[in-house]
Every structure is written in C-alpha cells, then in structure tokens.
Amino acid sequence: MRAEKPRHLIDASAVRVPGRAPRWIVPTVKVLLVLGDAVAAAVSFIGAFRIRQSVSAFGNNGWLWSDQFAPYGALLIIVVIIRLLTMRYVQLYRIRGEFSFVDDALRVLKATAIGSLLIVAAAFLTLRNASARAAASPLPRRTAVRDRSGAPVRECCRQSPPDRPPCAWPAPCRG
C-alpha cells in the first residue's frame, strides 16, 4: 500500500506571520531598561538615606545636596554604576526570545547580592577615607561661603575663639 501524496501544497510563507520586530525596538528596549535601572538605583539609594537619617538628601535650595548627604553624593554615582554593571554581568540586559521568571529572578538575586557586596566595600573605602582625612587635619575646619555665581564671599571658622563672637551671615568675618 502506498501513502497518498498531497495534491495541494501551501507555501509556509503564505500562512506564517512575520515574527520580527523593527530593528529599532530591541535597542530602544535595552536603553529603557538601563535607564529604568539607573533611576531605580539612584532613587532607592536616596530613599534609604532618607529612611536611615530621617533627613532629606536635598537641601532647601531645591536640587542641591544637603550637608548631611554631601559625603554620599559621590558614592551615588558609584552605586548606580555598580548596579548597572552587575546587571550586565549576569546578562539581564541580553534580550532573548525565551522568558523564564525563575531564571530571571535568580539572575536578579545574584546581581543584587554581588552589587550589594561591592557597594558596601566602596562605601567603606569612600566614607572612611573622607572621615579619616577630616579627623587627621590639625587645622580647624573652615567653610567657604559662596554667592550664587559660585565665587567665594568669605571664609568662616566653625570654632571661634571665646573672646570673639561666631561668624554670622551677612556680617563679615572678624580676624
């Protein structure tokens, strides 16, 4: 007995739906993922400071750092870079056709653990050196007051001698 041969063959391209997205979609999605992760890392770092210190990271002037957050300002850039690099290291920005919640969740946990260890090390080195330099200086700390253009207006000593009144704005410093 012979198998019957099909008489009407249909071309596969006639039935198949084109499965390709335009070329600009994948790079756009990758850029949006990176930007979203960078914003999330920065907002979570600033939010953690706000919760821990009960002080806003921004001063009264708007977008400028507050005095309490100033040592952490340089660390913020390092935190964002570490988060993005660890996400890239575990290949979370590689867009694949298949999608697995378990696989991606494990990759996110791995990136978070590695990134957190690196951030703690960077924070320890950055903040420890800043406080050690300030503590080792035999000179009294001076703050430079600047006008809106950024030019120094005057210099005041935080530790005034007992016979002189402390510096007060807008009065000029004595001595």
**What is the predicted pLDDT for the residue at 89?**
95
Closest CA to 116 of 49, 55, 45: 45
Q: What is the pLDDT of residues 65-106, one digit of tens each?
A: 888 888 888 899 999 999 999 999 999 888 876 778 898 899
Classify burial at 66, counting beta carbons within 10 Å of its beta carbon; exposed 0-12, middle 13-18, buried 19 or more: middle
C-alpha count within 13 angstroms, C-beta hemisphere, residue 40: 10
- Domain ranges within the chain, ordered by starting residue: 24-135
pLDDT in tens, 103-128: 889 999 999 999 999 999 998 888 87
Q: Are 36 and 29 in contact (CB under 8 A)?
A: no
* pLDDT tens for each residue of 29-46: 999 999 999 999 999 999
